[in-house]
Amino acid sequence: MTSHILSWIIFTPLIGAFAVLFVPKNATACIKWIALITTGIVTALTGYALTLFQPAQAGFQMIERGVWIPQFNVQYLLGTDGISFPMVVLTAIISLLACLASFGIKERQKEYYALYLLLETGMMGTFLALDLFLFYVLWEVVLVPMYFLIGIWGGPRREYAAIKFFLYTLAGSLFMLLGILGVYFAATPHTFDMTQLAGMPRGLFFQQIVFMAFFLGFAIKVPIFPFHTWLPDAHVEAPTPISVILAGVLLKMGTYGFFRFSYPLFPEATHWFQPAMAVLAIVGIIYGGFVALAQTDFKKMVAYSSVSHMGFVLLGLAALNADGFRGAMLQMFTHGTITGGLFLLVGVLYDRAHTRDLNGFGGLGVKMPAYAGFLTFFALASLGLPSLSGFVSEFLALLGSYQYSKPVTALSTIGIILAAAYLLYMVQRVLLGKLNPKWAQLPDINLREVLTLVPLMVLILGIGVYPRIILDYMIPTLDALLKTIKVS
């Protein structure tokens, strides 16, 4: 088992999905427990892998290699390093918590949990695949369950949101496929193997073209302005646990793609596109912030705040230096935990009030004191309060970008001010002020919901106070990456 630990992490959810399919439709309790136990096992396996992981080592670890399609030299190649491993941990935790949060779903539960577990297989595989072909296959496996999860269990405009999400991502990934094929045929010998491809020299023009093909795939997923329009729709219409997964994991697949594939494969193009990436980062940060400020729908506000916060990841990526990379990587993790938590909290309120209109609330702090505490905590974490993890990652990203360009950094800090504005304005409208008598009977947050939030808070506080607990895992790999893409 030790030698195939990554395969187990990927395929345990698939086994769980099949188990769910064989349970009668009416045995909902049984189905829920199978799903929860499966995600629990995956988390345990990830924890076990954590003990095997050598943080100080920069290269790929726990590699599994097998021939898949000999005609195209396609391999079943898995491996992890300081870039993908934190993402795997994040996926495991978010999947477990979102599964617990899914217990509120009452319709067509069998289909829900089967698709949910299939989705986890896709996400884990995306982060662990080192063969471009395998990566593409698993990247696409995420799409179909996501379509159904939004389309069946979503809000009123779910069908539109689901197909929009699907088509946007599919369009991007098809161009990525063309890019992958370009890389494949340009390599001698033809291969999809990342461990071999990373060091190969390529012409600048070729790099630019293929970088753009990959960029389309990843940028739509992140999403980077102007490809972000699917995000508010998908986030708002998706059921709460799926919004959590979307914000917590799926968005990271895009930025992970830059770290894992675009940068090491196309170092010269990366430098060439650096200013463009920085500009897109600023646009995302500021635009996302302003739009979030204008929202009256709670969930939409959090969705646009994602656009803004993911802008910081891009900013760190664009900085092309050690601090920037660390900031970007850490921001990917912390954004997953913080925004995941915020979406859970939106869900808690929505389940009780059946509305998300920020202007319709008020004074809930009196009726729901525990909820108020949680919401304040996550809001402060999101706006970057020192000693919480959001501060560390955004600070590092800005530190990195400062070394690259001062105007870029100056403009990006506007995003932090905006974050404070829209989050505090939200807290004010929901928790403070006069109690709207309509909500006088709302019960406070319950134990199950608390359980979904507490692990996230532990992570946020832990990383905020002592970031090295996670940075130590990332730094050797990121430094090695920086060396690979250094252009003399």
> Measured from the CB atom, is 67 or 465 closer to other proteins?
67
For the stretch 257-294, what's the b/e string if a residue is b when 16 or more beta carbons lie within 10 angstroms of its beta carbon? Answer: bbbbbbbbbbbbbbeebbeebbebbbbbbbbbbbbbbe
CB of 485 to other proteins, least distance (A): 25
CB of 159 to other proteins, least distance (A): 6
> Measured from the CB atom, is 153 or 371 closer to other proteins?
153
Task: Select from 409, 391, 426 the least CA-distant residue to 305.
Answer: 426
- Provide the token pair at 182: 């370009």
CB of 106 to other proteins, least distance (A): 16
CB of 265 to other proteins, least distance (A): 16
> Measured from the CB atom, is 111 or 449 closer to other proteins?
111
Angle at 448 between CA 442 and CA 452, to 5 degrees: 110
CB of 463 to other proteins, least distance (A): 35
Cβ-based neighbours of 248, under 8 Å, separated by 6 or more: 90, 94, 98, 336, 337, 339, 340
Specify whether the CB–CB gap between 281 and 312 falls below 8 A: yes
Q: For 102, which DSSP code?
A: G
Specify whether the CB–CB gap between 469 and 462 falls below 8 A: yes
> Measured from the CB atom, is 176 or 457 closer to other proteins?
176
3-class secondary-structure state, position 347: helix
d(CA 393, CA 300): 23
CB of 78 to other proteins, least distance (A): 16
Q: Residue numbers of the site for other proteins (CB under 8 A)? A: 67-72, 74, 136-137, 140-141, 143-144, 147-148, 151-152, 158-159, 162-163, 166-167, 170-171, 174-175, 177-178, 181-182, 184-185
d(CA 356, CA 375): 14
> Measured from the CB atom, is 177 or 450 closer to other proteins?
177
Maximum C-alpha span of the chain = 71
- Provide the token pair at 27: 């045995």
CB of 69 to other proteins, least distance (A): 4
- Provide the token pair at 119: 């989705």
d(CA 381, CA 375): 10
> Measured from the CB atom, is 203 or 462 closer to other proteins?
203
> Measured from the CB atom, is 176 or 423 closer to other proteins?
176
Angle at 96 between CA 259 and CA 246, to 5 degrees: 50
d(CA 447, CA 139): 35
CB of 185 to other proteins, least distance (A): 5
> Measured from the CB atom, is 175 or 425 closer to other proteins?
175
Q: For 444, which DSSP code?
A: P
CB of 143 to other proteins, least distance (A): 7
> Measured from the CB atom, is 7 or 334 closer to other proteins?
7
Specify whether the CB–CB gap between 315 and 278 falls below 8 A: yes
CB of 86 to other proteins, least distance (A): 26
> Measured from the CB atom, is 177 or 461 closer to other proteins?
177
- HSE-CB of 166 using CA atoms within 13 angstroms: 17
Amino acid at site 358: L
